[in-house]
Amino acid sequence: MARFRFRTRLAALPRPLPDEIVQAVLDAAEGMTFDDGGELRLGDGTLGAARLISGRHLAAGARYRIGLDAGETRTVDITVAGWDRTGRTALDVLVTAGGHTFTARLKADLRGEGLDVLRIDGSYRGPAFPRFLQRATVTAEMRLADRPAGGPARSRTPRLAVRVRHPFAEAAVAVAQGGSGRGRRPHTVTVGLRGRTAARPIAAVGLLVVRRRVRRVLGQALATAGTHWNEAVTAMAARGLQERLVLRHQVTVAAVPREAFGEYVRALHEAVEALRFRDGLLRSGDGPALDVRLLEGRHIEAGARYRVLPAHQDEDDAPPSDPLTVDVLSWDPAGGTRAAFRTAQDTTTGWAELRSARDPVLLHGRLVHESGSSPVLTRVTCEARADLEAWWRRSTRSAGDPAPITATAVHALGRATVTLTARPALGGRWKVAVSATVEGLSWGGPLVAVAALFTGHLLENALRKSAGEVAEELNRALPRLRTDPRKAAEATLDALLTA
């Protein structure tokens, strides 16, 4: 076997953190409930694709099935071989998809409230001829305990060992810790490659020829993986497992007087009113990029109904698109403007309102999206509210006061909320504080906490990047709005119709 050995220093997770992760996953599993038909309860409904087929939930012998498609030609079957939060928990998994079969046994040795050893033994079988070539086995074991009860330290025992075997090849990876303590610890990573049966001599010659290249590629991959691991673990150790993930960032944008913004909204309102339709089709300049048709009623009056599509939708080679139907519920510059919208298949529905165009004080909207054969799993409800009076009235907001601008997305398993507040800055600018909160709901709470632990640093980077990009766009657009609100309104409408 060709062996490649590398030494590196890897950050160690604080010991309580892996145990907390395991306990959170177990809490989520035990928090699941099923209706009388065996379907998994999720939010206000049930998820028919996940069912308890037989037995009592999490009792030995309990069997579950997860359908990965509507016809259940791809399924995951899970059987509980044992469930003990202070001893051994074992699950048997069978995955079938188009003739491909993967079986595995997952075993977790729990020590009190912590995880000692996690092991996976699996095998794969393919459907094509010759079938003996489409098979493989995999074993993986991860050890977290520094020493067994009453035994010596396991410093030389691999913390992670993975082996994959094919009839003609074998690969193994072992990661052994060479020290203890906090911070980055020395680790030895050993990679083994070899051929098996008839391919063994051929593989031996090939590996001898490309050995240096293989070592270089593996070394580069290990260095990259180690960097990502150390960054992620450092962030996870600092954050810890939290029920709510809170992210904060701050950007600076050009300030706009309320009077200028009010003029902009009035001008935009008037520009929409001035749009002209001929034979029910919107006519604007050289032709808009959107195909907007007036289906019912009079333009921009209550009861008017529109269909909106990309202008190229009627071309034979254009990809199909779900048309958007927009209904005007009210259009009163002095009172309120409200419109509802929905897609043809009702996968997305919602409404938006402005109160009022002459003196804008509130923007409010709601959207519900769902798709696929399991709406309860895909349904997301989004709501946004902007208190424009509060935005300009409060340079800072007192503790406990609601943020002037809030946006919330709710799923059956979790909720995300974004808030915006502003305070004056030098040079006629605003410092805008952006806060994002992610939390789980129902039995998804522990799972969302675990997901946030692993992805928190990525979400934080994404928040900074998105907020920075939006701030750049606003800083390009807001000076025009401040100096010439009406031209800014014309540019906005033109961008909406021709983008």
Judgement on whether residues 181 and 305 belong to the same structural domain of the protein: no
Do residues 24 and 136 share a domain?
yes
Backbone dihedral region of 461: left (phi > 0), alpha (psi from -120 to 50 degrees) or beta?
alpha
Same domain, 186 and 91: yes
Residue reference for tokens 């996976």: 120
Tell me: do 151 and 119 sit in the same domain.
yes
Q: Are residues 61 and 101 in the same domain?
A: yes
- Single out the residue of 248, 207, 224 nearest to residue 438, CA to CA: 248
Supply the pLDDT for residue 483. Answer: 92
Tell me the pLDDT band of 295, cut-offs 50, 70 and 90.
Answer: very high
Q: 365 with 287, same domain?
A: yes
Predicted TM-score (pTM) of this structure: 0.83
- Whole-number pLDDT of residue 310: 76
Q: Where in the sequence is the domain holding 165, given as residue range(s)?
A: 2-241
Same domain, 137 and 277: no
SS3 of residue 119 by DSSP: strand
**In this structure, are 260 and 237 located in the same domain?**
no
Res 470: pLDDT? 95
Query: Which among 241, 260, 292 is the end of a domain?
Result: 241
Whether 72 shows a pLDDT value over 80: the answer reads no
Does 355 share its domain with 384? Answer: yes
Check residue 71 and give its pLDDT: 77
> Alpha carbon 391 to chain centroid distance?
30
CB atoms within 10 A of CB 117: 16
* Concatenated DSSP letters of 233-301: HHHHHHH---SEEEEEEEEEEE---HHHHHHHHHHHHHHHHT-EEETTEEE-TT--SEEEEEEESSTTS
- Please tell me the distance from the alpha carbon of residue 384 to that of residue 410, in angstroms, as a whole number: 12
- For 11, 23, 227, 268, the CA distances from 232, given in Å and listed in that order, are 9, 21, 9, 46
**What is the total count of domains within the chain?**
2
Domain-ending residue, one of 173, 208, 241 = 241
Mean pLDDT of the chain: 88
pLDDT of 374-430, one tens digit each? Answer: 788 889 999 999 999 889 886 545 545 678 999 999 999 999 999 999 888 888 899
Q: Where a domain ends, among 241, 272, 288? A: 241
Comparing CA positions, the residue from 422, 419, 414 lying closest to residue 395 is 422
Judge contact between 435 and 422, C-beta under 8 A: no
Q: Residue 312 — pLDDT band, cuts 50, 70, 90?
A: low
Highest mean predicted confidence (pLDDT) among 103-117, 210-224, 285-299, 300-314: 210-224
| Phi and psi based region of residue 6 (left: phi greater than 0; alpha: psi -120 to 50; beta: remaining) | beta
259 and 382 assigned to the same domain: yes
Is the same domain home to 355 and 422?
yes
In the chain, pLDDT over 90 holds for what percent of residues? 65
Q: Are residues 201 and 257 in the same domain?
A: no
